Amino acid sequence: MKAKVHVFLKPGVLDVQGKAVEGALNGLSTVQGWANVSHVRVGKVLEFDVAATTAEEAKAQVKDMCDKLLANTVIESYTIEVA
Amino acid sequence: MSFKAAVLVFPGSNCDRDCKVAVERSTGGHVDMVWHQDTALPSGLDLIVVPGGFSYGDYLRCGAMASLSPVMAEVVKAAERGVNVIGICNGFQILCESGLLPGALMRNNTLKYICKPIELKVENHNTAFTQGFTPGKSVWMTQGNADGNFVADADTLNAIEGNGQVVFRYVENPNGSANDIAGLMNERGNVLGMMPHPDRAFEAELGSDDGAILFRSLMERVAA
């Protein structure tokens, strides 16, 4: 089964990379016009195969992976897709 | 009996030897190097040092993968038995990721890698790590990291402040760290994490010998 995990900083946690990207997009506006961009967040996507008999079983395992390694729940939240 | 320490070595550690030399020269003690795949620590340790560097290339999150390496399970058990543990820089990140210390370390709010001598205030002198520092006198060590911005939720911050777990604060906050926190210990007081490097400030020739006071404090506490 294919698993896809999205990891983002939690709302309220300052995303300095997002801020920098937002500043660059806004800054380019004199040339090209993206002053309309705001609230940029930079996150991660992890894709992998997981051997499991049901989607529920796979999802439970991926959740365990997220809690133990793939995300730091002090500062990050995650979403899981299994297909 | 002389002071006995171990320094962990992960793939990508680069301050491991600095830590060994710093502890040896500060305390006159014996220091073993312990590989991250080892499943046992030397016996009778007074101190475990989790050194700085870029363990596992800082992939995923700084310290995340190192925190799950075999030797860290032994470090957690040793900390529970009361063995002193210090994590410096990447070592601090690893201790937070392992759950031995609360909170997390994020990218500096300046987005820059900060590498410079830094002035610290010793916030709590009544610890095994800091009893030798002179009250009221600031301390100089070296900062060298991109992810030194300490964050924790409001309840956690209140708890660690209330318990006296904040050990070092920046005099001038370089990275956005919550409450100017530069160094933090667990509630029991035997696990310390700090971003500035005592291992780069243990002899006057290095610009400061304040780091040696930290290692000697531990030695004196253990001998007492």
Q: What is the pLDDT of residue B1?
A: 66
Cβ distance of A69 and B104 shorter than 8 Å? no
Predicted confidence band at A62 (pLDDT cuts at 50, 70, 90)?
Answer: very high
- Local confidence band at A33 (pLDDT 50, 70, 90 cut-offs): low
Residue A16 CB: number of other CB atoms within 10 A?
Answer: 18
Distances (CA, A) of B122 to B48, B130, B161, B204, B211: 22, 8, 14, 19, 12
Q: Of the candidates A7, A4, A2, A17, which has an alpha carbon nearest to the alpha carbon of residue A70?
A: A7
Cβ B46 vs Cβ B5: under 8 Å: yes
A28 has a pLDDT exceeding 80: no
User: Mean pLDDT over residues B187-204, rounded?
Assistant: 97
Average pLDDT over residues B215-223: 95
Which residues, 6+ apart, have CB-to-CB distance to A63 below 8 Å?
Answer: A80
Cβ within 8 Å, pair B106-A20: no
CATH architecture of B4-223: 3-Layer(aba) Sandwich (3.40)
pLDDT in tens, B137-158: 999 999 999 999 999 999 999 9
- Kindly state the average pLDDT of the residues B188-202: 97
- Residue A25: its pLDDT value, please? 85
Between A12 and B37, the more confident residue is: B37
**Chain B interface includes A17 (CB < 8 A):** yes
Domain boundaries along the sequence of chain B: 4-223
- DSSP label of B59: -
| pLDDT score, position B185 | 98
* Residues B196, B210 contacting (CB under 8 angstroms): no
- The whole-chain average pLDDT of chain B stands at 96
**Cα distance between residue B101 and residue B115, in whole Å:** 24
Q: Give the pLDDT confidence score for residue A57 in this predicted structure.
A: 96
Query: How far is Cα B115 from Cα B144, in angstroms, rounded to an integer?
Result: 4
- The domain ranges of chain A are 2-82
Residue B112 has pLDDT above 60, yes or no: yes
Instruction: Return the SS3 of B42.
Output: coil
The mean predicted confidence, pLDDT, of chain A is: 91
Query: Which among B15, B19, B89, B96 is annotated as catalytic?
Result: B89
Q: Which of A14, A68, A74 is nearest residue B103 as measured by Cβ atoms?
A: A74
CA distances from B92 to A31, B11, B29 (A): 43, 16, 23
* Identity of the amino acid at B123: E
- Report the pLDDT value the prediction gives residue A31, as an integer from 0 to 100: 63
B197 is catalytic: yes
CATH code that applies to domain A2-82: 3.30.1280.10
Span A45-52, average pLDDT: 97
Contact between B201 and B209 under an 8 Å Cβ cutoff? The reply is yes
Strands B181-185 and B191-194: antiparallel
Could you tell me if B169 and B181 are in contact, meaning their C-beta atoms sit under 8 angstroms apart? yes
Residue of A nearest to B147 (CA): A16
Nearest residue on chain A to B105, judged by CA atoms? A75
Residue A19 banded pLDDT, cuts 50, 70, 90: confident
CA A12 vs. chain centroid, Å, equals: 15
